[in-house]
C-alpha cells in the first residue's frame, strides 16, 4: 500500500486540469494517502518544488482554468542527469507513485522515467487537442471547442454583414479534432485538417462553386497543423486565385486553452483523477487512464504515444452536405 504520492501538470495547460488535481488529492485523502503537488512539472520535480496538499488545498478550484500547480517545459529532464536529479528528489521526499496530467510529451517523459528508475506512474490526458489514443475525449477539449465555436459565431456575423470570406485558424497541433466540430457547429463552408490533406486548389474550386450558387460570405476553418500551411498562407493563395474575394484571417489562438472548464470537462477530469489514483493503488503503472465508450480503460503509455487516434471521416461529408 502506497503511503505518499505526487501529482503534477506538464505541457500546455487545459481547462479542467485543476478539477483533475482536485480529484487526485481528494481520492488520495479518501484512501488515507499523503499527496504532494509538484510545481511546474518536470522542472519543479528536478528542483524539488513539492507542496503538501490536502482537501482544503484544492477547495474552490474545480471551476478555475489553467493549473494551480503551474506548468513548464524542461529541457533538463530530457537528459539522463536531469532525470536522475528528479528521481533523487522523489526519493528524498518519500514519493512512491506519480499522477502525470498532460499530453503526449508528458507521457513520453513519464514512460522513459519509469523505465529507468521504476517510479510507478499513471497518466491523466490533459490537452485540448484530443489527440491521445486510449480515450474518447481529453481533459480540456470540450471547453476549447466551445470557446472556438463562440468566436466563430461572432465572426460569422461580420462575414455575412460584409460579404467576406474568413479563414479562421484553430488550435490542435497536428490534429483536426478541434477544427472539425467547430466547422460543423459553426456552419463553415470548408474545413482544412491534417488528416484529409485538402489542397488549396480544392478550396478554391469549392469557393467558386459556392459563389456560383450566389453565396457571398464564407467561413473556412483551418487547423493549425494543416499541411497546406497556416490560415494566412492559405488565405493568400486563395486571394491570388480569386482576386475578387474579400478575405480576412482570424487566429483564435490561446484563448482556447483558458477559461472555466465546461461541465463535461469537470466531470471527465474528476472521473480520470479518481481512476489515476486508484490505478496506482491497484498496482498499475506506465498507463494512461481514459474513458472509451463510457467505460474506464487503462492504456499503456507506449500505445498512447505511438498509436494514431483517427478522426471520424464521415464528418467531412457532413461539412460538404451542410454547406450547400
Of 129, 131, 142, 265, catalytic: 129
Residue 156 labelled as part of a binding site: yes
Give 168's strand partners.
Answer: 221, 250
Nearest Cα neighbor of 83 from 106, 56, 114, 54 is 114
Please give the DSSP secondary-structure letter assigned to residue 314.
H
Q: 75 with 100: CB under 8 angstroms?
A: no
The residue to which cell 490526458 is assigned: 125
Q: Does residue 136 have an active-site annotation?
A: no
Sheet strands side by side (includes 34-38): 50-53, 34-38, 4-9, 97-102, 121-125, 287-292, 295-300
The answer to whether domain 4-140+261-306 and domain 144-257 are alike in fold is yes
Which top CATH class is 144-257?
A: alpha beta
183-204 pLDDT, tens digit per residue, is 999 999 999 999 888 899 999 9
Count of alpha carbons within 13 angstroms of residue 281, beta-carbon side: 18
Instruction: Identify which has the larger pLDDT, 196 or 54.
Output: 54
Mean pLDDT estimate for the chain: 95
pLDDT at residue 272 tops 90? yes
Residue 290 labelled as part of a binding site: no
* Per-residue pLDDT, 212: 87
pTM of the predicted protein model:
0.95
Residue 127 labelled as part of a binding site: yes
Q: What is the mean pLDDT of residues 44-69?
A: 98
72-90 pLDDT, tens digit per residue, is 889 999 999 999 999 999 9
* Per-residue pLDDT, 105: 94
Percentage above 90 pLDDT, the chain = 89
Q: Within the chain, where are the H helices? A: 17-30, 41-47, 80-92, 104-117, 141-162, 179-185, 200-212, 231-241, 263-281, 301-306, 314-322
Q: At what angle do helices 104-117 and 80-92 cross, to 10 degrees?
A: 70
Residue 105 labelled as part of a binding site: yes
Domain boundaries, the chain: 4-140+261-306, 144-257
Residue 12 labelled as part of a binding site: yes
As its CATH architecture, domain 4-140+261-306 has: 3-Layer(aba) Sandwich (3.40)
The string of DSSP letters for 208-269 reads: HHHHHTT---EEEEEETT-TT--HHHHHHHHHHH-TTS-EEEEE-GGGGG-SPPPHHHHHHH
Q: What cell was used for 163?
A: 460579404
135-189 pLDDT, tens digit per residue, is 999 999 999 999 999 999 999 999 999 999 999 999 988 899 999 999 999 999 9
Residue 224 labelled as part of a binding site: yes
210-263 pLDDT, tens digit per residue, is 888 888 999 999 999 888 889 999 999 999 999 999 999 999 999 999 999 999
Amino acid at each position: 500500500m502506497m503511503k505518499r504520492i505526487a501529482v503534477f501538470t506538464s505541457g500546455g495547460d487545459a481547462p479542467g486540469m485543476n478539477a483533475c488535481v482536485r480529484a487526485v488529492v481528494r481520492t488520495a485523502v479518501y484512501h488515507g494517502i499523503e499527496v504532494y503537488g509538484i510545481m511546474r512539472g518536470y522542472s519543479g520535480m528536478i528542483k524539488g518544488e513539492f507542496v503538501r496538499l490536502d482537501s482544503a488545498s484544492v477547495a474552490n478550484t474545480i471551476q478555475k482554468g489553467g493549473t494551480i500547480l503551474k506548468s513548464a517545459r524542461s529541457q533538463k529532464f530530457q537528459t539522463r542527469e536531469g532525470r536522475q536529479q528528479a528521481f533523487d528528489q522523489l526519493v528524498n521526499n518519500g514519493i512512491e507513485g506519480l499522477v502525470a496530467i498532460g499530453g503526449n510529451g508528458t507521457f513520453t517523459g513519464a514512460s522513459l522515467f519509469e523505465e529507468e528508475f521504476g517510479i510507478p506512474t499513471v497518466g491523466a490526458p490533459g490537452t485540448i487537442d484530443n489527440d491521445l489514443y486510449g480515450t474518447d475525449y481529453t481533459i480540456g477539449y470540450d471547453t476549447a471547442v466551445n470557446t472556438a465555436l463562440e468566436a466563430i459565431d461572432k465572426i460569422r456575423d461580420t462575414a455575412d454583414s460584409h460579404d467576406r470570406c474568413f479563414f479562421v485558424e484553430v488550435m490542435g497541433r497536428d490534429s483536426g479534432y478541434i477544427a472539425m466540430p467547430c466547422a460543423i457547429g459553426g456552419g463553415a463552408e470548408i474545413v482544412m485538417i491534417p488528416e484529409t490533406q485538402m489542397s488549396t486548389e480544392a478550396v478554391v474550386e469549392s469557393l467558386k462553386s459556392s459563389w456560383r450558387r450566389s453565396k457571398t460570405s464564407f467561413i473556412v476553418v483551418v487547423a493549425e497543423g494543416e499541411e497546406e500551411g497556416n490560415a494566412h498562407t492559405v488565405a493568400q493563395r486563395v486571394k491570388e486565385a480569386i482576386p475578387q474575394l474579400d478575405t480576412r484571417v482570424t487566429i483564435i489562438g490561446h484563448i482556447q486553452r483558458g477559461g472555466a472548464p465546461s461541465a463535461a470537462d469537470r466531470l471527465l477530469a474528476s472521473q480520470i483523477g479518481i481512476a489515476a489514483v486508484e490505478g496506482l493503488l491497484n498496482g498499475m503503472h506506465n498507463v494512461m487512464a481514459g474513458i472509451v465508450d463510457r467505460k474506464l480503460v487503462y492504456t499503456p503509455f507506449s500505445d498512447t504515444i505511438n498509436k494514431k487516434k483517427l478522426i471520424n471521416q464521415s464528418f467531412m461529408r457532413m461539412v460538404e452536405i451542410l454547406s450547400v
